[in-house]
Amino acid sequence: MAVLTAGELRKGSKLEIDGDPYLIVDFEFSKPGKGQSLYRCRLKNMITGTQLDRTYRSGDKFNTADLEEQQMQYLYSDGENYHLMNTSSFEQIEMSADAVGDASSFLSENLVVSVLLFDGKPIGLTLPNFVELKIVASAPGIKGDTASGATKTATLETGHVIQVPLFVEEGETVRIDTRTGQYVERVKV
């Protein structure tokens, strides 16, 4: 764990404050008249997402947050926690639903994801930009209507509901952009 002084802080720096990892999302150097250098930061708690504003002085010191990303394969959910396996060490870990967050909408068995660890504990999960998921329920579409742009709801194998074009059928697999949560195209399996 490295030590930073206030003068070394930048937008994007990750610090440990009161036991939590924080990301500096906004940063401004400031100096009143003949006064001391001050560093105004907007910090985002990387676990809870809450933001706070803090102003630091030149002499202030910080520990950088001990963060690392590991590739993990999703195994199963026991209803409360998510179980994943580190793809290089084969070690299994548990993640709370809170830490997995919205990513659970597109998390299917055996998917390899990136898990963010803070002090060795999983605090966040990043999906691949695109995932392929099976439609398990959707009202029958209207044949031939491919150009109108009309959509209908469809339930994915994860239980999450998305909008798909009318021609997409139950039992088919679709590609989804996990950053927008939107349907991209149909996938021939």
Q: Which amino acid is at 124?
A: G
Rounded least distance, CB 6 to other proteins, Å: 10
Quick one: which of 101, 90, 104, 93 has its CA closest to 124? Answer: 101
Rounded least distance, CB 140 to other proteins, Å: 46
Rounded least distance, CB 36 to other proteins, Å: 5
Question: CA-to-CA distance for 151 and 58, rounded, in angstroms?
Answer: 56
DSSP helix/strand/coil, 90: coil
Confirm if 138 and 164 have CB atoms less than 8 A apart.
yes
Closer by beta carbon to other proteins, 60 or else 157: 60
Closer by beta carbon to other proteins, 38 or else 187: 38
Q: What's the half-sphere exposure (Cβ side, CA atoms, 13 Å) at 83?
A: 8
Closer by beta carbon to other proteins, 24 or else 100: 24
Closer by beta carbon to other proteins, 36 or else 63: 36
Closer by beta carbon to other proteins, 57 or else 175: 57
Rounded least distance, CB 125 to other proteins, Å: 29
* Phi, psi angle pair for 17, to nearest 5°: -130, 125
Which stretches of the chain bind other proteins, using CB under 8 A? 7, 28-38, 40, 55, 57-58
Q: Which amino acid is at 26?
A: D
Quick one: which of 177, 162, 76, 83 has its CA closest to 122? Answer: 83
Rounded least distance, CB 70 to other proteins, Å: 29
